[in-house]
Structure 1
Amino acid sequence: MDFILNLISGGVESLFDYLSAHVLTCLVPAFFIAGGIAVFISAPAVLKYFGPQANKFLSYGVASVSGSILAVCSCTVLPLFAGIYKRGGGIGPATTFLFSGPAINILAIVYSARLLGWDIGLARAIAAVSLAIVIGLIMAYLFRQGAENQASPELFSGDTDDASPLWQTLLFFGSMTGILIFASAANWPVTIALLAVLGWVLWRFFSLDEIKQWLKETWSFVKLIFPWLIGGVFLAGVIKTIIPADIITGVVGSSNIGSNALASVFGVLMYFATLTEVPIIKAFLELGMDKGPALALLLAGPALSLPSMLVIRKIMGNKRAFTYFGLVAVSATLAGLIFGMI
């Protein structure tokens, strides 16, 4: 009974620390930004750049960062990837998007930096973008003969214009991004001033229906992500209670090929619900995990899991899918090794 109580106590303590330190100043503004992206950024305007007629430099560039623009998470990246791949995007930009999408959405960037430190958060964003491009280019080269998955350039045609002028959209997102930054820094006078700016922008330039849709999308992100996030934080507290620190330090306490490869393979095989990898990795770091394996796990974990591997294999076929799986594991291992040396 004491053992069970200790587990519950560890989970509750971790949950309390998280709720008191991160929710209001970090996740709440990020949820509103994600909801705004879903409503006011045109997905076809982004996705059309994945088509076969697009400039390759532009195509891979957009694919590597569009996860942040589209606010995709691990639960939505697979159907988006399937649509891009099957309907004209090609294997290169599609796999670039598949790898980077879950890792660089606005919630993942903010949450990783806030909870794990800005060095790991920045390394995650840079590595996700650069490795995504490298993986996509390698996949495109290896399977350059299989270009049958091409569709007409009109695939993503249609109305791609935003409802509001660009400067209004930038003012809307800029004020919310400022709120996120200054609230996290506990600079309340600037935060209040930015809230007033946001309120004026909403009153002056957005209709009541648009605001309702924005709030609806924001709430959908909260319902989708927050319960899993709370569960992940609780689980991280339990892990800290039951796993001896010397096991972590002995296995992944240093950054070498073996420890990074182990963290990468663990991330590939495990299933992390949206953002739950962050509190779990924080627990591992507190137990002695080196920052190199932590980054390897951060890169491989969101990109793949056993359920997603089954779906990807169904979409791409065995040869392409297992090539992609290997590239993810190897690239995450190398990124962790390099980061651990810095």
Structure 2
Amino acid sequence: MDFILNMLSGGVASLFDYLSAHVLTCLVPAFFIAGGVAVFISAPAVLKYFGPQANKFLSYGVASVSGSILAVCSCTVLPLFAGIYKRGGGIGPATTFLFSGPAINILAIVYSARLLGWDIGLARAIAAVSLAIVIGLIMAYLFRKDSENQPASELFASDGDDSKRLWQTLLFFGTLVGILIFASAANWPVTILLLVALGLVLRRYFNLDEIKHWLRETWAFVKLIFPWLIGGVFLAGVIRTIIPADLITGAVGESNLSSNILASVFGALMYFATLTEVPILKAFLELGMDKGPALALLLAGPALSLPSMLVIRKIMGNKRAFTYVGLVVVSSTLAGMIFGMF
């Protein structure tokens, strides 16, 4: 009975932490950004940079570093990924962004370097960008027939508004991204100023129908993603409760194949809110974890979580989702083994 109560309390505690400290500052702004992508970014604009016919150097380059200014985790990035993927963005660039978004943000890299050492911080930055591109290219190759057979009406089916001037659209999204960044950093004075600025931008450059459409699309993403997140966060809390920490740290004291696989799988299953993986990993390192498995966990942890897997499956389907998860685990394992050799 005590065991069951501990599991339930772990799940409830995980939910409480997520709802009290994460949703309002990270996930809500991300939902509004995704809704804005669905309404105000035209399909041709998405396809120009992320579509299957786009210049690969440009699309994968942009996708691999576009998360550098966003302090988002594996769950917060999902609405943004869904917005790109549902708008006809190629599965390759979309999954490149999905992997790199949580892993390459500047706060995470700097924090990792300062707390864990510059070697791990630099390795995380290089590996995150490189693996994101590799994973995206493999996904694009494996599912190339799906893109080729996708009718143009599906790729371009949207109510995207082409009438807005570029600077107006950039101002709108720039304000939303600023809200996401400063709210995540708990800088409330700047966040409030940006909210006021957003209101002024909407009043000056957007009509009531456009605003209503934006809110409807935002709510659609909430209904699609949020229920899966809640269930997944609860399950992740339960798993975290029943797995002893000493069992994990004792099994990853050396950088070999088994320890890196274990670190990758553990990171993929656990939910780490933005930057929380860094102090947790520091504790593991102090308990004897090798730097190879540490990098593997740093790569797989922010990129995946049990909640995000459930949502990715909902968005992309079983075959694409399981392939993506497998690629993340395998590539993180390989990166950890290579880093552990030095």
TM bracket, shorter-chain basis? 0.5 to 0.7
Aligned residues of 2:30 and 2:79 also touching (Cα < 8 A)? no
Question: For residue 112 of structure 2, what is the aligned residue in structure 1?
Answer: 119
Equivalent positions of 1:26-41 (< 5 A) are: 26-41=26-41
- Measure the CA separation in 2 of the matches of 1:31 and 1:110: 20
One-letter amino acid matched to 1:169: T
One-letter amino acid matched to 2:296: P
- Measure the CA separation in 2 of the matches of 1:122 and 1:161: 40
Aligned residues of 1:25 and 1:184 also touching (Cα < 8 A)? yes
Question: For residue 80 of structure 2, what is the aligned residue in structure 1?
Answer: 71
Equivalent positions of 1:1-342 (< 5 A) are: 1-48=1-48, 54-61=54-61, 64=64, 71-73=80-82, 96-97=92-93, 99-104=95-100, 108=102, 119=112, 127-135=127-135, 162-252=162-252, 255-264=255-264, 277-278=271-272, 288=284, 291-298=294-301, 299=303, 311-312=319-320, 329-337=329-337
Aligned residues of 1:295 and 1:335 also touching (Cα < 8 A)? no
> Equivalent residue of 2:81, what SS?
coil
- Residues 255 and 34 (structure 1), Cα distance of their counterparts in 2 relative to 1, 3 Å cut: farther
One-letter amino acid matched to 2:179: I
1:98-141 superposed Cα distances (whole Å, 9 cap, x missing partner): 64243346xx5699978x9953999878645432433566789x
Aligned residues of 2:233 and 2:271 also touching (Cα < 8 A)? no
- Measure the CA separation in 1 of the matches of 2:18 and 2:45: 37
1:248-291 superposed Cα distances (whole Å, 9 cap, x missing partner): 11234665443223444678xx8x7xxx7446x95985984753
More displaced 10-residue stretch of structure 1: 59-68 or 40-49: 59-68
- Residues 122 and 178 (structure 1), Cα distance of their counterparts in 2 relative to 1, 3 Å cut: farther
Aligned residues of 1:50 and 1:59 also touching (Cα < 8 A)? yes
- Measure the CA separation in 2 of the matches of 1:42 and 1:123: 36
- Structure 1 residue 199, shift from structure 2 partner: 0.3
One-letter amino acid matched to 1:4: I
Aligned residues of 1:64 and 1:129 also touching (Cα < 8 A)? yes
> Equivalent residue of 1:162, what SS?
coil
- Residues 337 and 172 (structure 1), Cα distance of their counterparts in 2 relative to 1, 3 Å cut: farther
> Equivalent residue of 1:72, what SS?
helix
Aligned residues of 2:59 and 2:93 also touching (Cα < 8 A)? no
Question: For residue 89 of structure 1, what is the aligned residue in structure 2?
Answer: none
One-letter amino acid matched to 1:292: L
- Measure the CA separation in 2 of the matches of 1:51 and 1:27: 26
Q: How many residues matched?
A: 309
Gaps of at least 5 residues in structure 1 are: 85-92, 314-320
TM-score (norm. length: structure 2): 0.66
One-letter amino acid matched to 2:319: V
Aligned residues of 1:103 and 1:109 also touching (Cα < 8 A)? yes
Aligned residues of 2:11 and 2:238 also touching (Cα < 8 A)? yes
- Measure the CA separation in 2 of the matches of 1:112 and 1:238: 31
- Measure the CA separation in 2 of the matches of 1:173 and 1:249: 42
Identity of aligned residues (%): 61
- Structure 1 residue 211, shift from structure 2 partner: 0.7
One-letter amino acid matched to 1:213: H
Gaps of at least 5 residues in structure 2 are: 68-76, 114-120
- Residues 13 and 303 (structure 1), Cα distance of their counterparts in 2 relative to 1, 3 Å cut: closer
Question: For residue 88 of structure 1, what is the aligned residue in structure 2?
Answer: none
